[in-house]
Structure 1
């Protein structure tokens, strides 16, 4: 896809991600890296975008948190992220969009629809995209100050897609 066509189709990427959003539980961020961000597949700019999304969400969740609890810095988030294959990103992002981390068995959306949508997002970013998560084995390293959060972020070096589920019980 030509760069100009791709830039014009970023609204498609946004529409796909927004359809997975279920605020305040599931939030998304997408688009092109801002001017001044280091281009390429480096994790730093993507971790910075995850941090910015978490900072936007923090005021909504602050009342449920211990006094003074703050989310990790961008560099702390960068240090805890683990790489994912594109296939693993599809499965994990589908889970975060469809299944509630706080209340297992409680569905946020139809899993088949979520899977189809996430597969389109991964395809949109292409085979050269890198994917990251805060999941390590069967546990999650927190990217927020909340008890529960799960995040998948991907980038082709120019565009990014982030989905995060946040919750407290």
Structure 2
């Protein structure tokens, strides 16, 4: 028997505040990641073994590591198509997911910067209070896009 909850895939996009300096782009995007996590956190509290609070915006900022655009496409495709908890669970057709996220990366353009909470050798730094979370976020300095998947076993 499994008490596993369904995965939750969230997307947020928008415009950064006017005048966001390049060296503050990550801080602004991390704030949007934090806001998205805070928005969906109440949906997950009843499934969490120990209800904690999600990391602060500055802690989320510290978790985000740079990512190349092609890696962002692959990670977002996987997040849209596959369940973090059970990789054999299909959430969306992989080809459709790849087409969708490729359009997002092209929309932000070659000058966009991308980040994830995943580090070397598959390590992950939590951006939520869930057992499993994965985020890819990018910004061209004017607009941003975030794809987040949360999961609980």
TM-score normalised per structure 2: 0.90
Looking at both structures, which has the greater relative contact order when contacts are Cα pairs under 8 Å and sequence separation is at least 6? Answer: 2
Rounded Cα–Cα distance in structure 1 between residues aligned with 2:74 and 2:66: 14
Give 5+ residue unaligned stretches, structure 1. 1-22
CA shift at 1:34, angstroms? 4.0
- In the other structure, the counterpart of 2:35 is 52
Give 5+ residue unaligned stretches, structure 2. 1-5
Contact 1:30 1:161 survives alignment (8 Å): yes
Contact 1:99 1:108 survives alignment (8 Å): yes
Rounded Cα–Cα distance in structure 2 between residues aligned with 1:67 and 1:165: 19
Q: Paired residue for 1:40, among 3, 19, 22?
A: 22
- In the other structure, the counterpart of 2:135 is 151
Rounded Cα–Cα distance in structure 1 between residues aligned with 2:100 and 2:22: 25
CA shift at 1:78, angstroms? 0.5
Rounded Cα–Cα distance in structure 2 between residues aligned with 1:155 and 1:47: 11
- In the other structure, the counterpart of 2:123 is 139
Aligned CA RMSD, in angstroms, stands at 1.6
Post-superposition CA distance 1:66-104 (Å, at most 9, x none) = 444010001001111110000000000101110101112
Contact 1:91 1:115 survives alignment (8 Å): yes
